[in-house]
Amino acid sequence: MRDQWHQFPRRQLVARQLERLNRLLERVLPQNRFYREKLASCPLRLDGLDQLTLWPTTTKEELLPDQDDPLHLARNHSWPPDRYVRFHQTSGSRGRPLRILDTAEDWQWWIDAWQWVLDAAEVGPRDRALLAFSFGPFVGFWSAFDALVHRGVLAIPGGGLSTEARLRLLQESEATLVFCTPTYALRMAEVARQTGFPLAQLPVRGLIVAGEPGGSVPEVRQRIEQAWQARVYDHAGATELGPWGIPHPRGLLVNEAWFVAEFFDLKTHRPVEPQGQLCQLVLTGLGRAGCPLLRYETGDLVRPRPWPQRGFVLLEGGVLGRTDDMVTIRGVNVYPSAVEAVVRSFPELGEFRIELWRRGELDQMKLLVEDPRQQPQRIARELQLRLGLAVEVESLRPGELERFELKAQRLIDRRRG
């Protein structure tokens, strides 16, 4: 069935999406107070996906829990808590964590959606997969773990271990796949270098990464692949949405079997046709009845290619950054992923941090980077060349900056307060 979806002509694909969307609406609107009120003056059955523009968008701020909710759950749940079996929350990297519940049926939907990702990475029963994350309430790779088990793959939990212990477990288990963030893939490679661990000799053939834009940034991907001698497969998803991104050699495909994609102009905040321009990704889920999301503003910045005649839409370069990460420095728009691309183009550089502050009426940017050569001028020149911006660079000694296991927090904004 997955292959059939991927080969559908565009018109047939859109018809299937519309059918799934209307079926979802019929099921959840009588029970879901959040969307019943939000769509009170809107058509509740659509004749075509072009009518999505008659609905308002949904933002993360709208999902913040009611003050009298003892569980502090997102406001878009359809049923009482006793109908649900899974509890997760967002990482909290962009403010207060959002708590999300899933029914058994919805969790199976997560597992089914993950199968598209595993297909792209050609994962089979002979693989062994180590999942290098904390296994805490952040959804992380929990659904990937169950998807692997569902596929018959030996799934190895790597929570509660040091990086050295995880490397040793990789070696002893003869794992062929690693699931982690791009940052942590680089951290494991760093520890391997420091300890003399034979990383490149492991049977690892692929790393499935998520949680950050780095998996599709060429400089980041190349550094990971060189260190591990393995292929990187980027993936995208969100606790509140589910797993929507499928690995592709040129970026990510939107899993349009389970999501309707729209692309919003950054200035007008209105839908536009995909023509390779920088847009915000807006997604409507076609499953997960217990916690549905309609026209959700993801905050992800993407470059969608024109709609194909067959198959799913391609996001060139994957997720390029976040709308709330963009900063304007002396008239130049800068994204942390663009700075990271420059840093990773220098193989000898380690961890880095971006600091923002305000001098008078102008925003300022400083890059702190671990540089064994202690030659910040060469990094500043490359930033000037590639970003068109003069950035102050401070070289630090290796090991001075914090390391991360999950999503890295590299942007420090000192402009407020």
Which CATH number fits the domain that encloses residue 385?
Answer: 3.30.300.30
Shared domain for 230 and 116, answered yes or no, is: yes
Query: Residue type at 142?
Result: W
pLDDT at 280 (0 to 100): 96
349 within 8 A of 373, measured Cβ to Cβ: no
The two structure tokens encoding residue 396: 């630090």
Domain final residue, candidates 201, 219, 234: 234
Q: Domain check: are 311 and 342 in the same one?
A: no
- Are residues 242 and 94 part of one domain? yes
* Three-state SS at 373: coil
Q: What is the pLDDT of residue 80?
A: 95
Q: Which of 168, 202, 234 is the last residue of a domain?
A: 234
317 and 340 belong to one structural domain: no
pLDDT of residue 93: 53
Distance (Å) of CA 246 to CA 48, 121, 234, 253, 378: 25, 9, 7, 5, 36
Alpha helices in 229-331 (DSSP H): none
Which pLDDT belongs to residue 92?
Answer: 59
Phi, psi of 126 (to 5 degrees): -80, -10
**One domain, residues 13 and 122:** no
Rounded Cα distance, 390 and 402, in Å = 25
- If one counts the domains in the chain, the total is 3
The dihedral built from the CA positions of residue 332, 338, 344 and 349, taken in this order, carries a sign that is positive
Of the three residues 234, 257, 280, the one that is the final residue of a domain is 234
Residue 137 CB contacts under 8 Å (≥ 6 apart), including other chains:
87, 88, 89
In a structure prediction context, what are the per-residue pLDDT tens digits for the chain, which is 417 residues long? 576 777 889 999 999 999 999 999 999 999 999 999 999 999 999 999 999 999 999 999 999 998 888 889 999 999 999 999 999 998 655 556 789 999 999 999 999 999 999 999 999 999 999 999 888 888 878 999 999 999 999 999 999 899 999 999 999 999 999 999 999 999 999 999 999 999 999 999 999 999 887 888 888 999 999 999 999 999 999 999 999 999 999 999 999 999 999 999 999 999 999 999 999 999 999 999 999 999 999 999 999 999 888 889 999 999 988 887 777 787 677 878 888 889 999 999 999 999 988 777 777 889 999 999 999 999 999 999 888 888 899 999 999 998 887 677 888 888 765
The answer to whether residues 254 and 291 belong to one domain is yes
Q: How many CA atoms lie within 13 A of 154 on its CB side?
A: 9
- The verdict on 317 and 342 lying in the same domain is no
> Domain check: are 142 and 174 in the same one?
yes
| pLDDT score recorded for residue 95 | 56
CB < 8 Å & 24+ apart, contacts of 235-239: 235/117, 235/208, 235/209, 235/210, 236/210, 236/300, 236/318, 236/319, 237/143, 237/210, 238/90, 238/298, 239/88, 239/89, 239/90, 239/91, 239/98, 239/100, 239/138, 239/139
* DSSP one-letter string for 7-51: H-BHHHHHHHHHHHHHHHHHHHTTT-HHHHHHTTTS-SS-SSGGG
Q: Do both 127 and 183 map to the same domain?
A: yes
CATH code (residue 260): 3.40.50.12780
* Nearest CA among 253, 232, 9, 3 for reference residue 119: 3
CA atoms within 13 A on the CB side of 272: 19
Residues 14 and 86 in one domain: yes
Task: State residue 228's pLDDT score.
Answer: 97
| Cα dihedral: 215, 219, 225, 228 (round 10) | -100
Q: Which domain holds residue 230?
A: 108-234
Whole-number pLDDT of residue 261: 97
The total of other beta-carbon atoms located within 10 Å of residue 168's CB is 13
Q: What is the dihedral of CA 178, 183, 188, 190, to 10 degrees?
A: 150
Q: Position 58: which residue type?
A: T
* Spatial separation of the C-alpha atoms in residues 300 and 193, rounded to whole Å: 33
Amino acid 364 reads: Q
CA–CA distance, 2 with 257 (Å, rounded to integer): 8
- Angle, CA of 112, 92 and 98, to the nearest 5°: 60
Residue 270 exposed, middle or buried by CB count within 10 Å (0-12, 13-18, 19+): exposed
Does residue 204 sit in the same domain as residue 256?
no
Q: How many CB atoms lie within 10 A of CB 75?
A: 17
CA distance 261 to 256: 7
Question: CA torsion 388→394→396→402, rounded to 10°?
Answer: -70
Q: Are residues 116 and 230 in the same domain?
A: yes
